[in-house]
Amino acid sequence: MASVSETLSLTIVYEDAGDGWVLARVPQVRGAISQGETRVEARDNVIDALRELLAVRFGAPPVTHENGDSDSLRITIAA
């Protein structure tokens, strides 16, 4: 069986939200938006928001068995 490797790349966009806050959003995913007092905090918060959106949409990940056939999926977020 051939191995397939593909990365889903998303972009975090930063904006000045005023009063010293930084707004961070992932334009490719509706609702993936958050803020922080710093760019790093905004990045961490929008990644958490993205995780929550995926959990709400798809539920908790199913339990996988070690002897099962599976592939890893890695999402790359460029910031």
25 by Cβ neighbours in 10 Å (0-12 / 13-18 / 19+) ranks as buried
Range of the domain at 13: 7-57
pLDDT of the residue at 51: 86
- Confidence class of residue 10 from pLDDT cuts 50, 70 and 90? confident
pLDDT for position 54: 85
Does the residue 37 lie in any domain?
Answer: yes
25 vs 76: which has the higher pLDDT: 25
Predicted confidence band of residue 23 (pLDDT cuts 50, 70, 90): very high
Does a structural domain hold residue 66?
A: no
16 found inside a domain: yes
